[in-house]
Amino acid sequence: MSAKIFAATFAFCLLYTAFSEGVYKIKKSSALRCQCLTTHSAFIPPRLYKSVELIPSGPHCKNLEVIITIKSGERVCVDPSQRWVERIIKSILESNKNEEPVTQTDR
- pLDDT 10s digits, 31-40: 678 999 999 9
CA pair distance 74, 65, nearest whole angstrom = 16
pLDDT at residue 47, rounded to an integer: 96
Q: What are the tens digits of pLDDT across the range 7-50?
A: 566 555 555 555 544 444 434 444 678 999 999 999 999 999 99
Q: What are the tens digits of pLDDT across the range 41-100?
A: 999 999 999 999 999 999 989 999 999 999 999 999 999 999 999 999 999 888 888 775
pTM above 0.85, yes or no: no
